[in-house]
Amino acid sequence: MRCKPVMHAAQRRALLLCALLAASGRALAHAALVRSDPARRATLSKPPTQIRLWFNERLEPAYANISLFKDRAGAIVHAPGQVDKTDAKLLVLDLPPLAPGAYTVKYRVLSVDGHSVESSYTFSVTQAPGSP
């Protein structure tokens, strides 16, 4: 006599729950910063001309903002960032010439899944524009 594998009701429910959780993981995800230029905690010998932030999800251009703060001086730039036309996961902000010092990048984005993400990171510049 051969035994047939039998899945009990509790096992079926557990399997279904696992499948639902695995499928919903993508729907529950938020845009996460995966790379930045300048990088987090970078010390730069030359000031950057742009802030470039790459995310793991496409961004809603109308709801993407970046602010740049210097030390305790307040906001240097507070503007809507530009979502790249060819890469909807890339947010770009053009910068004015930056003096040496510590800077904080603050960003708030809305991903196409409808979730907003707000965070910040720091970098520093050791030389002024035009310095050798």
Residue ranges of the chain with per-residue pLDDT less than 70: 1-29, 128-132
The Cα 124–Cα 42 span in angstroms is 6
Which pair of structure tokens corresponds to residue 106? Answer: 């603050």
Instruction: Tell me the longest C-alpha to C-alpha distance in the chain.
Output: 87
Strand ranges of the sheet holding 90-94, from the earlier edge strand across to the other edge: 33-37, 50-55, 90-94, 82-83
Extract the tokens encoding 41: 């905690």
Helix or strand holding residue 26 (H, E): helix 9-27
pLDDT of residue 129: 58
The one-letter amino acid code at 5 reads: P
Q: pLDDT above 90 covers what percent of the chain?
A: 58
pLDDT digits (tens, 9 = 90+) for 71-94: 877 888 888 889 999 999 999 999
| pLDDT cut 70: percent of the chain above it | 74
Give the CA distances from residue 73 to residues 34, 52, 101, in Å, rounded to whole numbers and listed in that order.
28, 22, 11
**Strand, helix or coil for residue 95:** coil
